[in-house]
Each structure stands twice: as C-alpha cells, then as structure tokens.
A and B are shown apart, each in its own frame.
Chain A
C-alpha cells in the first residue's frame, strides 16, 4: 500500500541544537501513528516541518508519494500544541470562520457531533474550559474533512477526565478511516490510540513498531518498584537494570523470583513493593536510560 506520508532523512538544526537529526518514517493510510518522546525530543519540530511551518535543512517529505503541493493545506487537518483562538467570536462562528477558508468542507453538524460541541456553540471562545478548547481545536482541524490529521500533544495540560474524553473522540475519528499523526509524551495515550509508534529522543528515532511489538521486543520480564530510600548496597545486590523514577527505585528483571529473593536476602524493606508488567514507559526507559517525564 502506498504510504499517505513519507518522511526521508529529515534534518533541522537550530543554533546549538540538532532538533531533528536524520528522521525517517512512513505512515500507512488509515492508521494512528504516534511520535512518542519527552519534551525537547524533536517531535514538534518534525511535525512543524511536515505542516510546512518550518523549512528543513535537508530531507524529503512525500505526501501520497509526491512532494507536498498546494493541495496539501486543503487536505490536511492540523491541531497545534498551543493556539489562541480569535477573540470575541463564539465557538460556532469560529468553526464557520475556519471552514470557510477551505474549498473542501466537512459538514458542520458532523463536526459538532463528533467533537461534542453542541452545548457550547454560542459561548465566547474566551470562556470555554481547557478540555472544551482542545475539543474546539480538534473540531477546527476537521473543518476541511481531512484525510490526514496532525495532532500535536492534544491532551497536554488536561485533567484525566478531559483527556479520556478527547481520546474517545480521537478513537471515533480513527474509526472513520482517517489517518492520524499524534505526538505525545503520555505512554498511556500512545498505547491506547496508536497503531504504530516511533520513539524519539534527542532528534532521532530510536525504534518504530506497533505498541505490541515494542513491548514484546523490549518489555520482557517484570518491573519491581521499591522505596527510593533503600540503601544502595541493597539495590546493588541485584544484577538487573535499576532506575530512579521520581520517588521510587525501579528494577527491570527477567528473573522475578530470583530478584525478589536477592532483595529480601540483602535486607530490603519489601512491604511497599509493587510488581507490574512492563509498559511503553519501561520500553522508553530501557531504550534511552531516562523517563518520558524527565
């Protein structure tokens, strides 16, 4: 199948920083593709180059196997990480404004329904909540009935409830067969929404695959969490990968029983110990040596 978007050896340097350093990936139509990485990994720069906002130093971007032409703006829906909405307009007027800018148009009723905006249509843009604003920004990205939708950290700053609400909406859009590119630093978001994930750090893609395959490849064994005040000599008794994550020590091990026995034998306080199967956060930790939140 011809990829809807292909990024080939993309590079972008800012003074003193290699923001994007030879990034390549291709996206099949109809999937949700995730760019996962911490702040400063180069996700937004990559996305802004794709959107045409930034010019790359080198590299190619192909849309439907061709260079992006004039029609690209007509066919792509974009939601930025931080955007202020036009002042003194209602939600409905804002949707109408952006919809009129395109030749290609989605039905307003469909946008309003999909993004759950019916209750706030007459509300001034400045008076909507954080979650409502993100839904409106997503709705704006849909006004041209796009084939490809680019969402740059759409849930950053939202409370857990608003975040889950937005995930439901994005899942709904995905079901309609549209292709989505999503950047995020929430591993849970990537796991729930994405069919394919590229893990980015320091401007490079470290690995790319489906969440399931990434977990299979890097997520063997289990992760033990113990108190961060555990003495170092106890922790060093285990011959596994050890990381300090916020206020806990995380030990990634392929031999759970043996690891727990060693800790107990060394005198570790295991009363608050937790054991869990690895997730994408652990995969990222294993690949980069630091957490997504760091």
Chain B
C-alpha cells in the first residue's frame, strides 16, 4: 500500500514541478499581489479624494479663506485644476472627481450619488473646525502599528493556498477522469483511499514548498516579523491546506467536465476571496454576511494566521479557527471519499 501511495505521490509531484507555467505562477502570483498592494497602500501621498478646483487659487473669497486653507492642507486629498464650471461638473457627474470647488466664488458642487463626495463635503465642513471647539480628548494607539502589507500578507498566502489546492487538485482529478487516466488506474490494484491520500500529501507538499518560498521572499523584501510561533503557523497552514484540498476532492469526486469543474471552482473561490477578509475586514458588515464567511475555510485560515503573525496568538487563542478547520477537513474528506468514482457516469 505504501509503495503505491509513494509512486502516485512522486508522479503527482513530477507533474507539478514540470508544469513550469503552473509552478511559476504559484510562486510569482503572491509576490505580485504583495508588491502591488504594498506600493498602493503604503505611499504617503496616496489619494483618497479628488477635488476639482476652478481658477488658479490666487483669488480666494475672503470669507472662506481660512476654511479653504485648512481644507487644502488635509492629507490624502488631491486638488486638480479645472478650466471652468462646465467641464468641472462633467467630471463630477462621471465620478472622475469627488467634489468641485470654486474658491473665488465660494461655491462647491457635490454628487448626491457618490459616498466619496458626501465624505469630501464633510471634510470641507470640518475644515472650519477650530481647536477651541474641541469636546473629545485625543488618544493614541499604543505599541507598534501593523503596516497594511503585514495585515494583507496572511490573506494573500491563504488565497494562494486556496487556488493551488482547489484548482490544483480539483481540476487535475476531473481532467484525468475525463481523459481516462483514472479509468486505467482503476483496473490496477490501486484503491481510491491510496489514490486520494497520495493526492492530498502531494498537494500539501507543493503548498508547503510554495508557501515557504513566498513567506521567506516577502520576509526578506519587507522585513516583517511573525509575532507568534512558527509551530502554530505550521499547524494552521496545514489544517487550512488539508481543508481546501478536501473541499477540492468533493468537487472532483464525480465530474468529468472541466467546464463544470472550472465554473464550480470559481463559484467557490470568488465568495471566499471576497468574504474571507483577504482584502478588507468584515468588521461592521451585516451579521448574515459574517455568518456566511464563517462557513469558508479561508476565513478561518486567514483569521488564524493573522492572529498568530500580527498579534502573537497561541493555538489556544485561536482554538475556534483550529476547531473549524479540523471539522471542515473531516467533513469534506469523508464526503469526498464516499462520493469518489474512478470513471465518469455511463
């Protein structure tokens, strides 16, 4: 039995690393994401709001000069010269700017349909605020702040694992069933348990290699630190990988249509990518959205890894995530094994 598992494991690994385009993409893709997002989100002069300004700014109406001056000094604002009201309003209508202001006349225009326009207006109004009006006491966050890419990194790693596990296993098994590779294996003494075990171990091995390379590379590039233990990190990554591969085995259990498998995999990966807090926090999202997100393994993988890396959490601290990933692995794996068929339906 072990010899059979070993030879399938070796063959799958050969297929993985000899498929240079797929292998390269698995390594390069997360780097691109991390580099791209860290550039976008870590620039001091990045722009949140674009304000169109009519006139050259020399002729400012006296009554608004202090307010306008404060407004111009607000961070994350870009002030764009606009030739006249007509072209300015045109830009505002098409959301190319968030607000149009004419400091000479003391008039501004906003878009009723744009949330950013609404917030830009609030910032303009707040620019008239003076320190004497202060009623809140300002507090500051203690300790080291977590840069955005350090917050983003666990999510991107998890997302990469998700794609690699789901498409790498699900798609491959379906393709092999479609082309009769599985049918040929079915008439050998190989049993489904050995075949599936070899697939799981092989993909886990591939995930471990690619995740390690990406982790080390990003660590060298950005010098971030893991505040928790590497053992805890390994446990959560392993459970996350197992649960995703097991999920892939359910999708791959019967189908022989690559189109169906591709569509179904997209149907699974897109909600996970959007709702598993890879890119943004679901803090404040509606309860049903958060409940749906809890059903996804990527949510628990990302959440667990983030707490370990960013906050130094222990396995006990993230026991809820660990339990959820373990339970999902057991359920998915059992279902995938029970449903598995070597051949396409007659």
The answer to whether A binds B is: yes
Q: Which residues of A contact B (CB under 8 A)?
A: 14, 51-54, 73-74, 76, 78, 80, 82-89, 93, 96-98, 100-103, 140, 144
Complex Cα distance, B176 from A14, in Å, reads 25
CB contact under 8 A between A86 and B189, given known A53-B183, A101-B4: no
Chain B residues near A144: list those with CB within 8 A. Answer: 188
Query: Are A84 and B181 interface neighbours, CB within 8 A?
Result: yes
Q: Are B18 and A73 in contact (CB under 8 A)?
A: no
Within 8 A of A (CB), among B92-143: none
Contacts of B18 in A (CB 8 A): 88
Answer yes or no: B190 CB below 8 A from chain A CBs: yes
B residues 154-185 in Cβ contact with A at 8 Å: 176, 179-181, 183-185
CA–CA, A190 and B343, complex, Å: 30
B187 touches A86 (CB 8 A): no
Known: A52-B187, A83-B180, A86-B11. 4 other contacts (CB 8 A): A88-B19, A89-B11, A101-B189, A103-B189
Contact yes or no, A88 B15, CB < 8 A: yes
In the assembled complex, the CB of A267 is this many whole angstroms from the nearest CB of chain B, namely 55
Cβ-closest chain B residue relative to A52 = B187
B63 beta carbon closer than 8 Å to chain A:
no
A76 to B186 Cα, complex, angstroms: 13
User: Which chain B residues in 176-209 approach chain A with CB under 8 Å?
Assistant: 176, 179-181, 183-190
Interface presence of B346 (CB below 8 A): yes
Q: Which residues of B contact A14 (CB under 8 A)?
A: 346
- B72 adjacent to chain A (CB < 8 Å): no
Chain A CB within 8 A of B14 CB: yes
A85 to B185, CA, bound (A): 10
Is the Cβ of A101 less than 8 Å from the Cβ of B190?
yes
Mark B255-272 against chain A: 1 for CB-CB distance below 8 A, else 0. 000000000000000000
A144 to B190 Cα, complex, angstroms: 13
Cβ contact of B186, chosen from A53, A84, A88, A97, cutoff 8 A: A53
Known: A101-B188, A101-B190. A93 touches B181 (CB 8 A): no
Q: Is the contact region of chain B dominated by helix, strand, or loop, or is it mixed?
A: helix
| Minimum C-beta distance from A144 to chain B (A) | 8
Min CB distance, B236 to chain A, in Å? 31
| Chain A to chain B: the 9 pairs with minimum beta-carbon distance, closest first | A84-B179, A88-B18, A100-B7, A101-B188, A88-B15, A83-B180, A83-B184, A78-B187, A73-B189
**Chain A residues in 8 Å Cβ range of B6:** 100
* B191 → A minimal CB distance (Å): 10
Q: How far does the alpha carbon of A86 sit from the alpha carbon of B195 in the complex, in Å?
A: 14
Interface of chain B residues 241 through 300 with chain A (CB within 8 A): none
Are A101 and B7 in contact, with the CB atoms below 8 A?
yes
Interface residues on B, range: 20 to 34
Q: List residues of chain B with CB within 8 A of the CB of A84.
A: 176, 179-181
A14-B346, A83-B181 known; A98+B11 contact, CB < 8 A? no
List 19 interface pairs A-B (beta carbons < 8 Å), by A numbering: A53-B186, A73-B187, A74-B189, A80-B180, A80-B184, A83-B183, A83-B184, A84-B180, A86-B11, A88-B15, A89-B14, A97-B7, A97-B8, A98-B188, A100-B3, A100-B4, A101-B188, A102-B189, A140-B184
Asked if B187 and A87 make an inter-chain contact with CB atoms under 8 angstroms apart, the answer reads no
Closest Cβ–Cβ distance, residue A140 to chain B (whole Å): 8
Q: A73 — which chain B residues lie within 8 A by C-beta?
A: 187-189
CB-defined contacts of A52 to chain B, threshold 8 Å: 187
Q: Which residues on the A side are within 8 Å of B11 (C-beta)?
A: 86, 89, 93, 97
Is the Cβ of A51 less than 8 Å from the Cβ of B187? Answer: yes
How far is the CB of B258 from the nearest CB of chain A, in Å?
Answer: 13
Count chain B CB atoms within 10 A of each CB in A51, A74, A98, A101 and give the residue with the most.
A101
Contacts of B19 in A (CB 8 A): 87-88
In the assembled complex, which residues on chain B have CB atoms less than 8 Å from the CB atom of A78? 184, 187
Instruction: State the CA gap A103–B1 with chains docked (Å).
Output: 10
What is the bound-complex CA distance between A89 and B18, given in angstroms? Answer: 9
Bound-state Cα–Cα, A87 to B168, Å? 14
Q: B189–A82 contact, CB under 8 A?
A: no
Instruction: Closest A residue to B189 by CB, please name it.
Output: A73
Complex contacts, B187 vs chain A, CB 8 Å: 51-53, 73, 76, 78
Minimum C-beta distance from A221 to chain B (A): 43
Distance in Å: Cβ of B283 to nearest Cβ of chain A:
44
Q: How far is the CA of A84 from the CA of B181 in the complex (A)?
A: 5
List, in ascending order, chain A residues with CB within 8 A of B180's CB. Answer: 80, 82-84
Determine if A88 and B14 form an interchain contact, defined as CB atoms under 8 angstroms apart.
yes
The answer to whether B346 touches A102, judged by C-beta atoms less than 8 angstroms apart, is: no
Q: Is B4 within 8 A of A87, CB to CB?
A: no
Interface string of B14-47 (1 = CB under 8 A from A): 1100110000000000000000000000000000
Task: Find residues 287-346 in chain B having any chain A CB closer than 8 Å to their own CB.
Answer: 343, 346
CB distance from A93 to the nearest CB of B (A): 7
Closest chain-A Cβ to B333's Cβ sits at a distance in Å of 23
A271 to chain B minimum Cβ distance, whole angstroms, is 50
Q: Min CB distance, A86 to chain B, in Å?
A: 6
